Structure 1
Amino acid sequence: MSNLTKELNSDCSETKGRDAVELVLRPREKDLGGFSVRRLLPTAQRKTVGPWIFFDHMGPADFPAGEGINVRPHPHVNLATVTYLFEGEILHRDSLGSLQPIRPGDINLMVAGRGIVHSEREQPEVNSVPHRLHGLQLWLALPEADEEVEPAFHHYPSADIPAVEVGGVPVRVMMGTAYGATSPVRVFASTLYVEAHLQPGQKLLLPDADERAIYVAQGALKAQDIDIPEHAMAILSNVSGVIVEAAEESRIAIIGGEHMGKRFIDWNFVSSRKERIEQAKRDWRERRFPVVAGDEVEFIPLPE
């Protein structure tokens, strides 16, 4: 997963909340040529939510035949990426030799650790016909003790992700533990990632976490008389018993977990140490990272 825009901090607008709802962030869409991205994290108002340090909502984008996602090889260090699609398909390749199509409902977890390189392309059978892409791109900051772990890649098919019903609301526990279910997706710290699909008037009691946020990918919610419109993220306090209600059919993501402490972020690099990021930048500039198997020729230059 790449940071496709040069600037990192989103220029979100904000609404001050109260009690359980501390802040409501509303992103501005960024046109990346053929599709749009909404960045919710990091922002000037809020850098992280638990271990989550990067949150992009891409699309939905409709591509004609011959066009689509074509992200050349690029590096990451000291973080883990999470890719989740609502619609479409992305072909993941990395410097470990992984080759994996990502499809709706699957979770791809790529642990960069001390360093990994990957690309995001499309298979010819996808690219050769009109197609749509819609999904979330997220990054996790690794705990300091795990920042330099061996890189790894994990793919979890949709069928392996726990699905439960909470008061009539279908919920998927993507990462961590919630509503009596535990996801098999690997975590390095206390991590929460839940998806829910509410019909108008339905309510959902949110799981507890040290830090939490709720993102409305589709629809509109209300929490404590605070409106959370479509494509907004509400930053929540850690009080228990927070209930949201759908004003219309809504698809939401709940993220959170334990606080990771200060992290530095520059392009596709995240670390607790500025000098580690500078080293990664030098290594990429001087071509010292490993290459992506099957995608060895092209690469994204370090932005200067």
Structure 2
Amino acid sequence: VRYQIFNGLQAFCSSLATMLSSRAVLEGFGVGNANATSNAALIITVMQDVASRLTTIVSAYFIGTMLVPEAKTYRLLADVLNDSAIVLDTLTPHYPEYRVPMLCLSASLRSLCAIAAGGSKTAISVHFARRGDLGDLNAKDSSKETVLALMGMLLGSLIVPKVTNPSAIYLLLSGLVTMHLLINYLGIRGLELVTLNRQRATLLWKSFEVSMHASVPTPAVLAQQERLFFNHQGLPKFALHGIPSTQSMTANEDGYILCPHNEVWIVLKEGHGPITQLRAWVHALGGDLKHFQHFVESLERQGWIVNEGGLVTRLPRRVIISNPKSE
């Protein structure tokens, strides 16, 4: 409920801020300027569209697999990108010589926002719809946001025409953007996701070790410990950048191979599952695997879902190793 309330409020603030930026874009296109031409506006629109589509293609390839495991991070990042685009659009009339690059950059930021928001919101919707219908939840959530955005537009149509002084515009925009990001942060901080990603798996195992292998935190407790922009430095990585010499490999019969080489690289064998991913991650953290089964049981008792893999956040690279037949 808390997330839904904050999500609705942020949509309201965003619609107000968007009206300010939309007016600035229209001014940049030459609305009210007798010397402006429709052809110039068309060319700028085409350039924006090209920048937007190229960004969509590239970003979907690079971050597509990260959106569900890191849903909270990318949900907040989407709003940061959207607000950055709004600020750029609002500034365009004051920097006419940079208008086209600024508009193209804002279009790219909005495309990134759409990719990040789309994937992360889907993961969050699945979390809320575990005992209900996902389609019905999405429809109601979309309707709620539409109503609140419409209310923001109606209010904005009364306020924006009266705000014409640049200082007043920037002051109002700063307030709306600050409120938008703060509301989003508070809403996302309150999310208690029950699936595992790299950060949650690490925090849970460390807590399990501290408790002398007795228990793990609940999703509600761990949500207060999570960082939205998690630094993976110093933790094992699932991305396989290369394989060191065979002497430095640690083979394992449970579906993975550890490759210690400055950082611990994890090679997952074909047919691995979520439990294998979690076991490999714990092993790479230096965990004692004789307590792993008890760790999994503790997770399930506290309401964590361990059968949905969220530790592989990048496109996997395949390595085929074959044994040549001896003659």
Counting strand residues as a fraction of each chain, which structure ranks higher? 1
Greater fraction of residues in helix: 2
Q: TM-score, normalised by structure 2?
A: 0.22
Compare CA radii of gyration and give the structure with the larger one.
2
TM-score (norm 1): 0.23
